[in-house]
Amino acid sequence: MTNILVTGSKGQVGSELQILSKDYNYNFLFTDRDTLDITNEEAINNFTQTNNIDIIINCAAYTAVDKAEQDRKNANKVNHLATQVLAEIAKEYDIKLIHISTDYVFDGKNYKPYSENDATSPNGIYGATKLAGEKAMQAINPENSIIIRTSWVYSSFGANFVKTMLRLGKERDSLGVIFDQVGTPTYASDLAKAILDILPQIKNKTVEIYHYSNEGVLSWYDFAKEIMRMAKIECEINPIETKEYPTPTTRPHFSLLNKAKIKKEFNLSIPYWKDSLDMCLRVLGERK
């Protein structure tokens, strides 16, 4: 049986992979930072050899976007150096590597959905360290390995926009939510399923990059409005500009990802964002 190492298994995508694992004929080994230090080449080497790993799905990431500005060392360690270690191990032992990256590798100044070949230009440390991880993986170039960039990830696990809106919507009569940042949410369960579905089809000599999010386009304001509508929460959502909510890191104003490549090459059908939000709210018991 195929042995799959999943790193970052307590994160959103890793948690969804655990839920889905029972539906796939693979032997999964789920790890997190407490059970496997992915920045330690010896530890990864020993683990992959001991467990005869065939595939690595790297869900581990330093995702505290604003905190990364003051914590560059740790952000770089997880997002860049750990990816480099995993790529080296994958190349040495002919292991298939699937690495999850982010829309933050772009500056958000585009006028049409970003394709995989568009120029990268991250605005902050988080995006810069994720891009450094991508480049390290491409330079090492393990065969049958891919990078998947995604955006606006949410799920029933961990901290995310959907759960924050549900909580604040119940606590307050009104909320101001940014309307001038546009993109598409990604339900982590959909991304996890897509990864598992395309695994058998991944066959490439050089590292390929793909984009994945749910279908559709909206602002954070639109997203919040729909969350409240579906959950029947009486909270007024007011549109505000980014400049009214300053953060240490500049967020991309335009994060739309062109998903034509992953859909065509893997014959993949991607759910519409409202359908996926509906599903997540049902899992949370919040769909009214």
Of all residues in the chain, the percent with pLDDT exceeding 90 is 95
Interval 8-56: pLDDT, tens: 999 999 999 999 999 999 999 999 989 999 989 999 999 999 999 999 9
**For position 4, what pLDDT does the model report?**
98
Burial class (CB in 10 A: 0-12, 13-18, 19+), 10: middle
- The number of domains in the chain is 1
**For position 248, what pLDDT does the model report?**
86
**For position 52, what pLDDT does the model report?**
97
* Inside any domain, residue 33: yes
Which positions are annotated as active-site residues? 126
Residue 274 pLDDT level (bands cut at 50, 70, 90): very high
Residue 86 pLDDT level (bands cut at 50, 70, 90): very high
Tokens coding 13: 């995508």
Region 184-196: what's the mean pLDDT? Answer: 98
**For position 42, what pLDDT does the model report?**
94
**For position 265, what pLDDT does the model report?**
97
Q: Is the pTM of this model over 0.85?
A: yes
Region 178-194: what's the mean pLDDT? Answer: 97
In this model, does residue 247 exceed pLDDT 90? no
* Inside any domain, residue 166: no
**For position 251, what pLDDT does the model report?**
87
* Inside any domain, residue 62: yes
* Inside any domain, residue 202: yes
* Inside any domain, residue 170: no
Domain containing residue 34: CATH number: 3.40.50.720
Residue 288 pLDDT level (bands cut at 50, 70, 90): confident
* Inside any domain, residue 219: no
User: CA angle, corner 58, sides to 200 and 107, nearest 5?
Assistant: 110
- Residue 77 CB neighbours (<10 A): 15
* Inside any domain, residue 243: no
* Inside any domain, residue 205: yes
Closest CA to 126 of 213, 170, 44, 62: 62
Give the 3-state DSSP-derived string for the chain, with helices as H, strands as E and coil as C.
CCEEEEECCCCHHHHHHHHHHHHCCCEEEECCCCCCCCCCHHHHHHHHHHCCCCEEEECCCCCCCCHHHCCHHHHHHHHHHHHHHHHHHHHHHCCEEEEEEEHHHCCCCCCCCECCCCCCCCCCHHHHHHHHHHHHHHHHCCCCCEEEEECCEECCCCCCHHHHHHHHHHHCCEEEEECCCEECCEEHHHHHHHHHHHHHHCCCCCCEEEECCCECCEEHHHHHHHHHHHHCCCCEEEEECHHHCCCCCCCCCECCECCHHHHHHHCCCCCEHHHHHHHHHHHHCCCC
Interval 200-240: pLDDT, tens: 999 999 999 999 999 999 999 999 999 999 999 999 999 99
Domain enclosing residue 130, as ranges: 3-159+185-213+256-271
